[in-house]
Every structure is written in C-alpha cells, then in structure tokens.
C-alpha cells in the first residue's frame, strides 16, 4: 500500500530532521541475519529506537567494500538461502503494518542486475521502497539503473569517498538523489575507535557541489561518533556496530539491546551542541 | 569476416569490462590509466622493460615443434610457445614485472597482489625483490595449504603472505581481500592484479603486457614457416595467457583462436570452472563479464584440478571475443587434462603445468582431425613442478 508521500520519503525525512535541528539517524540490517525469519523484527527494533531511515543490506557472495562484520553477516544470510525476493517481502510486510519510515536497499550490483533492473525498480516502486545504495556502481556505470530508478520515483543514492576528486564529486552528486552517502574514511565498512580527522575538510569539498543532504557512514559505532558527525552533516549512518550488538547479546535480549543502542545514537543527533 | 571493431571503447569490450568498484579506488584507477597512457611515448620505460625481459625473464621464449607428439597423433603439426621457460616458470612474470616497473614510475612502493596457485604471487614477489619494493600477497587459506611450496618460495623472495579466511577461502576471496586492502591503503599502494580481470584499465594493461607472447609467436611463425599458424590454442582461467597469445592474431581472421576452460568433473556435474562455456554475464571484481552464478546472482565456487583455472569469472575481453564469434571456447575435464599432461611428458620430455595441460589435450583432439601440413600453436603457459603432488594424487600414486 502506498503512502501519500511515497517516492519522496527521503526528502521529507531530511526536511523534518532539519526542522527539528538534528541529523537523521540511518541504521542498517542485513536481510536474512541472524536468520531470514528475524529480519523484520530486527528492522522493527531499529525503528523502535528512533531510526529515521533504515538500510536493508542485500547479502552478496563477494562483498568487497565490507569489513569482517558485514562479510560474516552476509555469508550466514546466504547460507540460510536469503534472496533479493525476501528483501522485497520484508519491505512489503513493513509497509502493510503502516511503517512510513524511508527504507532503502544497500547491495552490490550483480544480484540486482541478475534479477533484472526493470523488474527491480518496478517491484520496488510497487511495494514502497525508497531507494538504492550500490557501492560498486559508480555513476559512469550506473546510468541505466539511475534512469530506471528515477522513472519509479526511487532514489539512487551516490557514494563519495575522501579520495574523490572535484570532478568525481560533481559527477556523483549530479547522477544521484535522496542524499549523498559520504564514506568517512579510506577503507571498508566496520566499527572503529575513532573518526577520521579529515572529515570536516572532505564534507566541505562535497558541499561546494551540492545542496543534497550529506550523510556520513563507515566506522560510526558509538553515540559519541554520532554526536560529532551531527555537527558536520545532515545524516549519520551506523551499520556494523548494530550487527555486533546482535552477535554479542543473548538471543532473548537481542532486540531490546539493539533498540537501546539506536535510541542512544538517536539522542546524540542534535545539531549545534 | 568483417573487420573487428575497436576492442577498447572507454575501458569497455563491447558491453563487457568497465569499472564496477567502490568510489574510494576510482581516483587511483584514473591515475593509473593516465600514467599508463603516458608510457606509450616513454621510450626510457619501454627500454628498461625490454632489457629486463631479455636478461631477467629470458625472452624471447622459443616455439618448439612437438614432433614426436605430432607424429603419434598423426594430424597437424603441434608447436609449443615455451612460456614454461620464462623466469619463475610461467607467463605470469611478463605482467608482474611490467606492473612493478609501472608502480615504481607512479611512486608507489607498497605492492599488493592476490594469488591462487601461487604462480602470480611468486612472479610478483620476484619482481618486487629485484626492484626493491615491499610485497604483500593475499592467498586463500585453502590454497595456502594446497600450495605450501609456492608459499615458501614467496617468503624466500621476501614477500609477506597473508592467508585469507573469508568466504570460500580460495582465489576469489583472495581478490576480494586484496581489493579491501587497496581500498584502505590506496594512497601508498599499487595492486598488481594477476590476470586480465578487474576494473578498467587492468584488463587492458595486463593484456598489453602479456601480448608479448603472441607478438613473438607471430614473428617466429612467419620467420620459420613463412606463414601464420592455422589454429592457436590456450587455456583460460582469468585468461591472461590466452589473451596474451590471441591478441596479436585477432585481426588475422584466417587464424582460428580456441580457448580451453576447465570442465572439472564435467560441465553437467556443476563442478567446473568453465565460465565462458557454461556461465552468464554479470559483474564481479570490478568488471562485467561471463560468470558462474546461481539463480540469485550469487557467485558460486568453481572446481578444477588446476588451481590456476579455478576462478568463477573471466577477463572481459574473452567475453567480447566469444560474443563476436572471433574466438571459440571449450571445456576439458580434470581427467582429460591429466591425459594431456602425461602425453606431453612421455613424448617430448616436457612436464607442463596442469593449466596448459588442458590446452594440450584439446589441441591434440583438434590436430588429429587436421591435415599434416596444418599448424596448431599451443601456449605452454607454465611448467609443472608446482603440480607434482596434485598429479600424483590424481593418478593414485603415493609419493
């Protein structure tokens, strides 16, 4: 069932968080992890903690931009037969429950390509998905997918790295929409102790080329990290740290612990501290 | 046959190739592309490489008439391009050495590489030792145990070998891990990829560096026979030795080009590495090409007796040549490769690596059906010392 703002949920969410003078908190769940049956409950736990956007990680056999945590989660999910179709089913179920929070797929290109790009965007549009983050699809390769996504009011969210040159920043932000995913460091995903010192400079370079909201991810594992980034950007992404909670907490307390960490992060999102 | 359209269109081979990698490394690929383009006019670089190919690698490698083998088969004359005689025992050194020199030229002092059987790792370690570069080789944990001798060789040559514990712990996971290292250390590090795979410009750079095989062979054929060979046969894993020998013949449309993939336990068993014979197009390790993938676009683990062919992808230029119909691709099983291996040992006193043993088997099949005045040129891409324990096991011999 389509809500009244489908296709523009991401823009509406960033407008809302801006009005509340805070950054949007973007959280992550690997579809099929810990088990396929758990996925919707994991997302519900993320939403209960106050997530503004949820990324659903589509597992892939060869996740070359991911660190050990998400690699492992992807592998376990695939061993249990997780498919892209299951990810669509999770979104459909959540929308049927009345969830209006923006939901995006984060996944490598090949499973989408294999499913059929036209079929992916058509189904995504029908069930109320909001967009895609595809870490191995730079704008020079993503024109076809981008055009198809836009025709269904879906955002193809651009990714930028500290190594991105001015011309690449420009090409990426022009090709994408929704928000700009700024990779905080030169490296793969995964929880880290400290944030990169060069982040403010990097975000400054990106801002010269776009009015889209900037969200910072990779290495964001603690509420303190969220608080620091909230002073610099319109969004904060945390992923591996949330999977670590699922791994480190006894099953009975798993969802409560996840909601607690998300809530602490959400409370750290205020701008101007 | 119509003229072949230009093979390189902005890093693409038709619809294949491209740059399907995280943004973090794209500026480094752009820099590499630019530096590489600059080398076209850099005679000092070319001279340095030529001298090393001559005196360090031992080029040119000969083409050798396998007369007893040809007589036994009773068909076309079989000639071997002896890449097994190159330094470190395989064609891999042509690429490793050229890229190590290129890395030095662009100011990178830390070299990373992946390896499956260990041949590319050994070649890279040797080139780095000779040029004074730091060398880190990622190798799947399963392969580390299967290829202990090559691990020891790399260490002797001063390289650090890092076992990869993720995924299936074989070559494809070693490539994933090397790309992760590159994503993390891109500002100081050059990635010497071992085959004609990966994001643009790698398939082009590796192709160009390996094309010396085909350029030499073409000249040698013209000098010795006054004509080109009728058929060129090479094994295909990632496809670097095959592209190396095919490429200078692509415009010679009268020369038949045949790539031999590993059919493992047989195509129908599902346990094989015959990507072009049995795969479908998709994206892996930075390029669009044929892949072994399941119904959900997940890459599945290939099988071959030969670790060097045990890869679920293939170079994008091979995908292009297949779709054009310019090259044909076939599969040879583990068992057939062992037969080709033994046949060459007994008739010619040459112990081939298991990879070109696949090409030897199929070339013999082709030659037997051709007249005696025809010439079949086979790329003997490496020597077999590394495979002794696997061959013994395959033949049921206890060492």
- What are the tens digits of pLDDT across the range B32-83? 999 999 888 899 999 999 999 999 999 999 999 999 999 999 999 999 999 9
DSSP state of B308: G
Instruction: Identify from B16, B280, B283, B294 which residue to disrupt to test chain A contact, counting A C-beta atoms within 10 A and taking the largest count.
Output: B283
Q: Residues B35, B51: contact at Cβ < 8 Å?
A: no
Q: Residue B7 has what pLDDT? A: 34
pLDDT-based confidence at A191, cuts 50/70/90? confident
Residue B257: pLDDT over 50: yes
CA distance B167 to A60: 11
Q: Which residues contact B393 (CB under 8 A, 6 or more apart)?
A: none
Q: What is the four-CA torsion angle of A220, A223, A228, A230, rounded to 10 degrees?
A: 90
How far is B228 from B11, CA to CA, in rounded Å?
A: 29
List, in sequence order, every residue forming a beta bridge with B13; answer none if it has no partner: B16
Q: Are B17 and A158 in contact (CB under 8 A)?
A: no
Q: Is B178 on the interface with A (CB under 8 A)?
A: no
What is the DSSP secondary structure assignment for residue B175, as one 8-state letter?
Answer: H
Predicted TM-score (pTM) of this structure: 0.95
- Within its chain, how far is the Cα of B356 from the centroid? 10
Residues 195-254 of B with CB under 8 A from A: none
Mean pLDDT of chain B: 94
Q: What is the pLDDT of residue B47?
A: 95
**B169 and chain A in contact, CB less than 8 A:** no
Q: How far apart are CA B201 and CA B17, in angstroms?
A: 9
- Report the pLDDT value the prediction gives residue A4, as an integer from 0 to 100: 41
Q: Please state the ipTM of this predicted complex.
A: 0.94
pLDDT at B383: 96
User: pLDDT, tens digit, for every residue of A31-83?
Assistant: 999 999 999 999 999 999 999 999 999 999 999 999 999 999 999 999 999 99
Does the distance separating the beta carbons of A68 and B23 come in below 8 Å? no
Q: What is the DSSP code (8-state) at residue A273? A: -
Q: Which residue of B has its CA nearest to A134?
A: B22
CA B137 – CA B116 distance, rounded (Å): 10
What CA dihedral angle connects A183, A189, A191 and A192, to 10 degrees?
-60
Query: pLDDT tens digits, residue range A228-246?
Result: 999 999 999 999 999 999 9
* pLDDT over 50 at B171, yes or no: yes
Distance from CA of A133 to the nearest CA of B (A): 11
Side-chain-side CA neighbours of A56 within 13 Å: the count stands at: 34
Question: Between A3 and B123, whose confidence is greater?
Answer: B123
CB–CB contact B22 A78 (8 Å): no
pLDDT of the residue at A2: 40
Nearest CA in chain A to B295: A114
Phi, psi of A109 (to 5 degrees): -65, -40
Query: How does strand B280-284 pair with strand B286-291?
Result: antiparallel
A62, A141, A183 ranked by CB distance to B172: nearest: A62
pLDDT at A209 over 90: yes
* φ, ψ at B141 (rounded to 5°): -60, -35
pLDDT of B148 above 50: yes
**In sequence order, what DSSP letters do the residues of B33-66 get, joined into one string?**
HHHHHHHTT-HHHHHHHHHHIIIII-PSPPEEE-
Which of B62, B58, B61, B60 minimizes the C-alpha distance to B87? B58
In eight-state DSSP terms, residue B90 is: B
> How far apart are the C-alpha atoms of B16 and B2, rounded to whole Å?
20
pLDDT of residue B370: 98
Is B291 in the A-facing interface, judged by CB distances under 8 Å? yes
pLDDT band at residue B11 using 50, 70 and 90 as cut-offs: low
- Of the residues A38, A52, A55, A130, only one is catalytic, namely A55
* Mean pLDDT, range B320-334, rounded to an integer: 98
Q: Please give the pLDDT value at position B4.
A: 35
Instruction: Dump the DSSP string for A226-265.
Output: HHHHHTT-SEEE--HHHHHHHHHS-GGGHHHHHHHHHHHH
Compute the distance between CA of residue A109 and CA of residue A139 in angstroms, rounded to an integer.
Answer: 12
DSSP B239-294: -HHHHHHHGGGTT-TTSEEEEEEEEET-GGGT----HHHH-EEEEETEEEEEE-B-
**Residue B167 binned pLDDT confidence (cut-offs 50, 70, 90):** confident
Q: Which residues of chain A neighbour B293 with C-beta distances below 8 Å? A: 110, 114
Could you tell me if residue B74 is left (phi over 0), alpha (psi between -120 and 50 degrees) or otherwise beta? left
User: Strand B256-264 and strand B160-164: pairing?
Assistant: unpaired
Cβ of B23 within 8 Å of Cβ of A67? The answer is no
A201 pLDDT band, cuts 50/70/90, is very high
Work out the pLDDT band at A27, boundaries 50, 70, 90: very high
Residue A7 has pLDDT above 60, yes or no: no
Which H, E and C letters describe B189-234, residue by residue?
Answer: EEECCCCCCCCCCHHHHHHHHHCHHHHHHHHHHHHHHCCCCCEEEE
CB B107 within 8 A of CB B35: no
Contact (CB<8Å) B25/A71: no
Nearest CA-CA distance, residue B185 and chain A, Å: 7
Of A120-124, A187-191, B156-160, B376-380, the range with the lowest mean pLDDT is A187-191
For residues B240 and B340, give the distance between their C-alpha atoms in angstroms, rounded to a whole number. 21
Distance of CA B193 to the CA centre of its chain: 11
Which B residues in the span 16-45 are in contact with A, Cβ-Cβ below 8 Å? 18-28, 30
In this model, does residue A113 exceed pLDDT 60?
A: yes
Rounded CA-CA distance A253/A150 in Å is 40
Contact A183 B24 (CB under 8 A): yes
ω into residue A159 within 30 of 0, thus cis? no
pLDDT over threshold 50, residue A1: no
Would residue A211 show up in a list of annotated catalytic residues for this protein? Answer: no
CA distance A156 to B21: 16
Counting residues of chain B whose pLDDT is more than 70, the rounded percentage is: 97
Q: How far is A191 from chain B (nearest CA, A)?
A: 14
pLDDT tens per residue across span A213-231: 999 999 999 999 999 999 9
Cβ within 8 Å of residue B362, ≥6 positions away: B233, B258, B260, B330, B332, B340
CB pairs under 8 A between A and B: 118
Look at residues B103, B318, B310, B308 and name the one whose alpha carbon lies nearest to residue B207.
Answer: B318
pLDDT given for residue B237 in this prediction:
96
Q: B114 an active-site residue?
A: yes
Please, how many CA atoms are within 13 Å of residue B64, restricted to the half-sphere of its CB?
18
Please compute the mean of the pLDDT values over residues A10-16 and round it to a whole number: 97
Tell me which of B12-16, B202-206, B289-293 is least confident: B12-16
Q: Band the pLDDT of A8: cuts 50, 70, 90.
A: confident
**B299 touching chain A per CB within 8 A:** yes
């Amino acid at each position: 069932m389509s809500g009244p703002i489908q296709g523009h949920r991401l823009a509406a969410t960033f407008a809302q968080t801006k009005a509340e003078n805070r950054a949007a908190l973007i959280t992550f769940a690997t579809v099929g992890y810990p088990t396929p049956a758990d996925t919707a409950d994991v997302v519900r736990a993320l939403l209960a903690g106050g997530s503004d956007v949820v990324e659903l990680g589509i597992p892939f056999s060869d996740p070359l931009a991911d660190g050990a945590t998400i690699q492992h989660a992807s592998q376990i999910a695939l061993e249990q037969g997780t498919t892209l179709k299951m990810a669509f089913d999770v979104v459909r179920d959540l929308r049927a429950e009345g969830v209006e929070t923006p939901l995006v797929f984060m996944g490598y290109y090949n499973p989408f390509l294999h499913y059929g790009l036209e079929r992916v965007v058509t189904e995504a549009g029908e069930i109320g998905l909001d967009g895609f983050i595809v870490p191995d699809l730079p704008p020079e390769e993503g024109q076809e997918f981008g055009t198809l996504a836009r025709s269904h009011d879906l955002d193809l969210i651009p990714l930028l790295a500290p190594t991105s040159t001015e011309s690449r920043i420009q090409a990426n932000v022009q090709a994408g929409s929704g928000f700009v995913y700024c990779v905080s460091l030169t490296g793969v995903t995964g929880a880290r102790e400290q944030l990169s010192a060069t982040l403010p400079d990097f975000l400054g370079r990106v801002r010269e080329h776009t009015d889209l909201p900037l969200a910072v991810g990779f290495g964001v594992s603690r509420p303190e990290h969220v608080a620091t980034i909230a002073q610099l950007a319109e969004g904060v992404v945390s992923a591996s740290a949330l999977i670590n909670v699922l791994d480190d907490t006894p099953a009975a307390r798993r969802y409560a612990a996840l909601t607690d960490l998300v809530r602490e992060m959400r409370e750290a999102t205020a701008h101007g501290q | 046959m119509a003229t072949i359209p230009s093979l390189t269109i902005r890093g693409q081979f038709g619809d294949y190739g491209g740059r399907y990698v995280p943004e973090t490394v794209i500026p480094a690929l752009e820099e590499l592309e630019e530096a590489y383009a600059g080398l076209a006019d850099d005679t000092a670089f070319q001279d340095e490489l030529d001298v090393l190919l001559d005196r360090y690698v031992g080029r040119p490698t000969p083409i050798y008439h396998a007369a007893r083998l040809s007589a036994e088969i009773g068909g076309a004359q079989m000639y071997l391009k002896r890449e097994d005689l190159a330094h470190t025992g395989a064609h891999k050194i042509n690429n490793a050495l050229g890229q190590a020199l290129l890395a030095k030229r662009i100011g990178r002092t830390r070299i990373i590489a992946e390896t499956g059987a260990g041949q590319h790792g050994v070649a890279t370690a040797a080139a780095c030792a000779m040029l004074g570069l730091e060398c880190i080789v990622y190798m799947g944990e399963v392969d580390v145990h299967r290829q202990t001798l090559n691990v020891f060789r790399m260490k002797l040559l001063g390289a650090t070998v890092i076992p990869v514990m993720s995924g299936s712990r074989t070559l494809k996971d070693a490539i994933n891990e090397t790309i992760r290292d590159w994503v993390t250390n891109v500002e100081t590090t050059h990635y010497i990829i071992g085959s004609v795979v990966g994001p643009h410009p790698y398939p082009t750079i590796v192709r160009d560096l390996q094309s010396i095989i085909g350029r030499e062979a073409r000249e040698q054929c013209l000098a010795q026979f006054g004509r080109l060979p009728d058929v060129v046969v090479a094994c295909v894993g990632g496809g670097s030795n095959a592209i190396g020998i095919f490429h200078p013949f692509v415009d010679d449309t009268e020369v038949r080009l045949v790539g031999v993939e590993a059919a493992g336990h047989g195509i129908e068993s599902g346990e094989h590495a015959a990507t072009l014979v049995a795969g479908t197009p998709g994206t892996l390790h930075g390029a669009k090409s044929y892949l072994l993938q399941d119904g959900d676009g997940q890459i599945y683990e290939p099988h071959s007796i030969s670790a060097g062919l045990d890869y679920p992808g293939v170079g994008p230029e091979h995908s292009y040549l297949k779709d054009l119909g310019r090259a044909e691709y076939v599969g040879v099983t583990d068992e057939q490769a062992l037969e080709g291996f033994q046949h060459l040992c007994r008739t010619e006193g040459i112990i081939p690596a298991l990879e070109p043993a696949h090409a030897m088997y199929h070339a013999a099949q082709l030659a037997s059906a051709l007249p005696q005045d025809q010439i079949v040129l086979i790329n003997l891409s490496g020597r077999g010392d590394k495979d002794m324990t696997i061959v013994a096991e395959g033949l049921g011999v206890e060492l």
